[in-house]
């Protein structure tokens, strides 16, 4: 199956700075890459996703980039705010949204 | 938006007993549901894919006789942990997706069930 690696495992940034989380995947057939945010004790929530036919996607302060050749994708959060503090998971899917294989998670702390 | 519920939210059971966890899509029809297991401060590990009306597909290393999955309708999937042991203690989360126009890629997650086996 797909193997997804995620770095860093923890990340602390000052409020207003940018945060970048990187993921790599192993299966070149993966074609859908969502990012989920999970606050403590709550369910994962989709924050942004990208399909393999797109190299970059942006939604306000959040952007995701995809490099299919290198098999890696990244989450960029600009102008971070304390409410961005959470665990972020990347995932890869081979079948356009079936069988998500998640990365190991990044615990982001935004320091006021 | 799409809402997925799980019941119970917490369950404590004795070793050797079986526990059933329900996953429901409340406002949409879920053609596919997924079951994940999450250990403390760790990632979500896909256990199985459940399609309505057919047998579940289990990921490698997941015992299908241990974790029984039933997807009897388009809004309900159940996970039964049979003969539970302390090592089965974990956080179990389901997710659901639809093939309709809502969003054919996104999976909507339930709030999870904390299982503790004594």
Q: Say whether residue A98 is in contact with chain B using an 8 A CB cutoff.
A: yes
How does the average pLDDT of chain A come out, rounded? 93
Give the pLDDT score at A97: 67
The residues of chain B scoring below 50 in pLDDT are 102
Q: Say whether residue A32 is in contact with chain B using an 8 A CB cutoff.
A: yes
- Measured CA angle at A20 (ends A6, B40), to 5 deg: 40
Q: Say whether residue A34 is in contact with chain B using an 8 A CB cutoff.
A: yes
Confidence of residue A98 (pLDDT cuts 50, 70, 90): confident
Summarised one tens digit per residue, pLDDT across range B30-61 is: 888 999 999 887 889 999 999 888 889 999 99
Are A97 and B42 within 8 A, CB to CB?
no
Measured distance CA(A28)–CA(A37) in Å, rounded: 25
Cα A102 to chain centroid, rounded: 10
Q: What is the DSSP string of A56-101?
A: EEEETTEEEEEETTTTEEEEEE-S--GGG-EEEEEEEEEEBTEEEE
Give the pLDDT score at B100: 56
Chains A, B: CB contacts within 8 A come to 58
Chain A: closest CA distance from residue B70 (Å): 17
Measured distance CA(B52)–CA(B118) in Å, rounded: 33
Give the pLDDT score at B104: 54
A25 near A50, Cβ under 8 Å? no
Are B43 and A89 within 8 A, CB to CB?
yes
Are A42 and B111 within 8 A, CB to CB?
yes
Select the residue of A6, A43, A107 nearest B110 (Cβ to Cβ). Answer: A43
Summarised one tens digit per residue, pLDDT across range A12-38 is: 999 999 999 999 999 999 999 999 999
Give the pLDDT score at B118: 95
Percent of chain A topping pLDDT 90: 84
Give the pLDDT score at B42: 82
Q: Which of A5, A46, A54, A108 to mutate to test the interface with B (most CBs of B within 10 A)?
A: A46
Q: Say whether residue A42 is in contact with chain B using an 8 A CB cutoff.
A: yes
């Amino acid at each position: 199956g797909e193997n997804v690696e995620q770095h860093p495992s923890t990340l602390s940034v000052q409020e207003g700075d940018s945060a970048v989380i990187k993921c790599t995947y192993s299966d070149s057939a993966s074609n859908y890459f969502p990012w989920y945010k999970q606050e403590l004790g709550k369910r994962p929530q989709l924050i942004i996703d990208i399909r393999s036919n797109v190299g970059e996607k942006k939604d306000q302060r959040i952007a995701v980039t995809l490099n299919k050749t290198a098999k890696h994708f990244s989450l960029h959060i600009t102008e971070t705010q304390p409410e961005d503090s959470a665990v972020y998971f990347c995932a890869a899917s081979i079948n356009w949204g079936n069988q998500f294989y998640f990365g190991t998670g990044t615990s982001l702390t935004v320091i006021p | 938006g799409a809402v997925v519920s799980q019941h119970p939210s917490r369950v404590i059971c004795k070793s050797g007993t079986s526990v059933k966890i329900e996953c429901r899509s409340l406002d949409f029809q879920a053609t596919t549901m997924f079951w994940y297991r999450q250990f403390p401060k760790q990632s979500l590990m896909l256990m199985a894919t459940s399609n309505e009306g057919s047998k579940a597909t289990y990921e490698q290393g997941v015992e299908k006789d241990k974790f029984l999955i039933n997807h009897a309708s388009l809004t309900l999937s159940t996970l039964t942990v049979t003969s539970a042991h302390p090592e089965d203690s974990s956080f179990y989360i389901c997710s659901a997706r639809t093939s309709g126009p809502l969003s054919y890629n996104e999976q909507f997650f339930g709030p999870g069930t904390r299982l503790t086996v004594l």
